[in-house]
Amino acid sequence: MAERLKRVTVSVADCTYRLTSVSFQDEVYLREGARLLNEQMQKYQREGCSPQEAMTMAALDGMVAALKSRDNYENLQQAVFQKISTLDELLTDAL
């Protein structure tokens, strides 16, 4: 069955963006991402950044968070794999 897509409108930096072909699952992330981006931009503008600088810094913050999340996921995945390997060795020895 084909995934149903929809149109979504979000506002970032007082500009409205109409996106087509958005999955229902991605809509939640898209809206939350726009909200967080706007919050970060407002924070940087209160600190004296121009709108363009604020957008750049907010985007950079988002990329840093994504990279940290990726690293945490990879570390967790490696730890789980090590635990499974240890359990496998213990079970093999016990049998």
Evaluate if residue 3 carries a pLDDT over 80: no
Q: How confident is the model over 22-36, as a mean pLDDT?
A: 94
What's the pTM?
0.76
Which band of pLDDT confidence, cut at 50, 70 and 90, is reported for residue 22? very high
Q: What is the pLDDT of residue 91?
A: 92
Give the largest Cα separation in the chain, rounded: 67
Q: What is the pLDDT of residue 1?
A: 55
State the DSSP string of 21-81. EEEHHHHHHHHHHHHHHHHHHHHHHHTT--HHHHHHHHHHHHHHHHHHHHHHHHHHHHHHH
Evaluate if residue 2 carries a pLDDT over 70: no
- In tens, the pLDDT along 43-83 reads 999 999 999 999 999 999 999 999 999 999 999 999 999 99
